[in-house]
Amino acid sequence: MTATVSDLLLDWYDAHARDLPWRARPGHVLPSDGSWPYRVWLSEVMLQQTTVAAVKPYFSAFTQRWPTVEALAAAPEEDVMAAWAGLGYYSRARNLVKCARAVAELGGFPANEEELRELPGLGAYTAAAVAAIAFDERAVVVDANVERVVARLFAVEEPLPGARKAIRDHADRITPTQRAGDFAQAMMDLGSGICTSRDPKCLLCPLAGHCAGRLTGDPARLPIKAPKKTKPLRLGRAFWVERDDSVWLVRREGTGMLGGMRALPDDGWSARGNGAGGPAGETLGRVRHGFTHFDLELSVEQVAEPLGEGEWWPLEEIDRAGLPTLFAKVARLALAR
């Protein structure tokens, strides 16, 4: 009998699965303390648009400080936001707290994809991933790595994002009923280490004999992506107020860009437009930072008086303030001067 795609991939995964702190290796017994769905969910939220290398230290810190979903649910939101600082995409952290509190009220994570979708912040991908990996429910899990593997496996010629429905349909066809969680993780590992964006290692791939993209002679061109749009550049100012070896920090509003985070005062820049207003000060330099939909350039200016409601923060403890990456860059520039 000819081995199926799922058979070949699961055999490969049994031998080559990555050792990750949020993952149970094939054949290993799952934790008996009920923490497994929490760890899967937390890792999946952290891994959205973020690399494994960047997530590992954050995952370790979170699970040591808040080892259960109930512990995270009881944490003040500002503490979670501060612990998240530097990981980016801060709406994820706000939704993390909302979801943890909802799960705590339910008494645990729902075990099926449909009910998981009803939790705050869980989109189609995360709900499918938690259902498959934490509960071994058959679910079609398609992240960027899986998208690339499937587009090549079936030689999907339609450009993204229009091709996503066809890719999901193909992924559904090959997802097995048994070991759905291992299959999802195997697809992720294959895309991460073998079927890579620029240099697919087809000679090492367990699915090479089934791959229509390989037969085209140029699998690396798949999936076909629409040209990227040029991101707009926004301009703004950040204000450095220093006194008695302390710096003035404010708390950003709970919604919007970097909502709820400690930050330096600024002139009201946003994704929609440049900043305006604020006092004149001594220019210390400029900082540039990229967001998903726009780039931002801030003029860093030292002024004498505090702006807005805030607090004096000791300069020697600035690394403990939980500043988002943008304002950590501003602080480094100011301190260097």
Catalytic residue annotation: 44
- CA 302 vs. chain centroid, Å, equals 34
Sign of CA dihedral 241, 243, 247, 249: negative
Question: What single letter denotes the amino acid at residue 79?
Answer: D
- Which has the closest alpha carbon to 47: 174, 162, 137, 146? 146
Q: Which two tokens stand for residue 278?
A: 């604020």
Output phi, psi for 294, to 5 deg. -160, 160
Q: Which two tokens stand for residue 192?
A: 């991460």
Q: Which two tokens stand for residue 32?
A: 């008996």
Give CA angle at 15 (34, 46), nearest 5°.
Answer: 45
- Which has the closest alpha carbon to 139: 167, 172, 98? 172
Question: What single letter denotes the amino acid at residue 284?
Answer: L
User: Exposed/middle/buried for 317, CB within 10 Å: 0-12, 13-18, 19+?
Assistant: exposed
User: Exposed/middle/buried for 79, CB within 10 Å: 0-12, 13-18, 19+?
Assistant: middle
